[in-house]
Amino acid sequence: MIEVRILRDAAEADAFRIATFPSFRHWLDFDPGWPAPIAVGTRMGGEMSGLALATPCDDGTADLLSVYCVPDRRRRGLAAALLEQLESECRARGLSALKGTYMTGQPATQAFEGLLAHRGFAPPELRMLVVRATLSSIAPAPWIQPRRLPSGYEIVPWVSLSPALRGELATSHSADPWIAPDLVPFDFEEGIDPVTSTALLVKGNVRGWCLNHAVGGVLRYTCAFVHPRLQRLGRVLWLYRAAVERMPGAGFDTGMWTIPVWHCGHANFAREHMAPYAVFFGETRGFRKALA
């Protein structure tokens, strides 16, 4: 017998914790200090068989965090039933859409995309390229070979920037905006890796940065940008080189670059010059379904 039900408290959700990623399990604590998740669980013959988990967002939509069905119960319509119930619970809570992102190149990518199509989601859209490389896989890459910085340029730890330099950066951008809105360094400072995150100084002023975070033992290159005048010169590569050089000292063997596809030059560089040295090259895609 198949049972599909909304999970409403931590005790009820306990058996379902293993059915989502470790980083999302805290949602199943139903901590009253946080918005209640939208969790739907299924059992077959009394056994936990699957979970769909979403969270409400401030914009009135819901983010689908994960959907999972135990391997020996797949292709019996359980995940479809989980999403159907999840969508109807979202509607009942007045949420206007169910959306999310996922990474391609995973064992279940085809199944997940099939499931989205089955439930009437719009075709997924490409968002980011994802390059994962180890120090040894990237070592032969021509663009990572050491080079001397031209005069007038300096690379310094981001955390060492003085208030005056930070102020100059903000003023320079306000006077004549040049920073891509999605790569403003001040938005990414929380929890940066202090050893590998650097700023590029040009004649003493900050004109580029590479801010990185430790994610599950991997160094994620979260936000890398240089002044548009320096982009054609490939100056962002100086920052990548500096970070890769510092990785062993900071205890990292593997790096992950996430590159928004709308930064075309950078995305083309990743496809042509990074992918050949990657241990994984994939993309993230976004999906969405309006819940009228």
Ligand X SMILES: CC(C)(COP(=O)(O)OP(=O)(O)OC[C@H]1O[C@@H](n2cnc3c(N)ncnc32)[C@H](O)[C@@H]1OP(=O)(O)O)[C@@H](O)C(=O)NCCC(=O)NCCS
Minimum distance from residue 80 beta carbon to ligand X (Å): 4
Please enumerate in sequence order all residues whose Cβ is within 8 A of that of 61, keeping only pairs 6 or more positions apart, or say none. Answer: 95, 96, 97, 98, 99
Cα dihedral 86, 90, 92, 97, rounded to 10, equals -130
Q: In sequence order, what DSSP letters do the residues of 25-81 get, joined into one string?
A: GGGGG--TTSPPPEEEEEEETTEEEEEEEEEE-TTS-EEEEEEEE-GGGTTSSHHHH
Q: Work out whether 118 is an interface residue with ligand X (CB under 6 A).
A: yes
Report the residue number, 116 or 224, with the smaller CB distance to ligand X: 116
- Report DSSP state, residue 108: T
Minimum distance from residue 89 beta carbon to ligand X (Å): 17
Q: Work out whether 17 is an interface residue with ligand X (CB under 6 A).
A: no
Binding test (CB under 6 A) with ligand X, winner from 2, 6, 115, 165: 115
Report the residue number, 70 or 149, with the smaller CB distance to ligand X: 70
Binding test (CB under 6 A) with ligand X, winner from 108, 184, 218, 250: 108
Minimum distance from residue 212 beta carbon to ligand X (Å): 25
Q: Which residue is nearest to ligand X (CB)?
A: 114
Binding-site residue total for ligand X (CB under 6 A)? 19
Minimum distance from residue 59 beta carbon to ligand X (Å): 21
Question: Which of positions 46-85 make contact with ligand X (CB under 6 A)?
Answer: 66-69, 74-80
Binding mask 151-190 for ligand X (x = CB under 6 A): ----------------------------------------
Measured in degrees and rounded to the nearest 5, phi and psi for residue 68 equal: -145, 140
Report the residue number, 74 or 273, with the smaller CB distance to ligand X: 74
Minimum distance from residue 29 beta carbon to ligand X (Å): 20
Q: CA-CA distance, 42 to 24, in Å (whole number)?
A: 18
Report the residue number, 91 or 118, with the smaller CB distance to ligand X: 118
Q: Which stretch binds ligand X (CB under 6 A): 110-118, 131-139, 141-149, 223-231?
A: 110-118
Q: Work out whether 291 is an interface residue with ligand X (CB under 6 A).
A: no
Could you tell me which of 93, 92, 2, 88 has the C-alpha nearest to residue 41?
2
Please enumerate in sequence order all residues whose Cβ is within 8 A of that of 228, keeping only pairs 6 or more positions apart, or say none. Answer: 178
Question: Which of positions 79-98 make contact with ligand X (CB under 6 A)?
Answer: 79-80
Q: CA-CA distance, 260 to 16, in Å (whole number)?
A: 33
Token pair for 273: 């010059």
Q: CA-CA distance, 132 to 223, in Å (whole number)?
A: 15
- Report DSSP state, residue 149: P
Could you tell me which of 31, 277, 287 has the C-alpha nearest to residue 139?
277
Q: How far apart are the first and last CA of the chain?
A: 31
Binding test (CB under 6 A) with ligand X, winner from 27, 112, 188, 221: 112
Binding test (CB under 6 A) with ligand X, winner from 2, 6, 15, 111: 111
Binding site for ligand X (CB under 6 A): 66-69, 74-80, 102, 108, 110-112, 114-115, 118
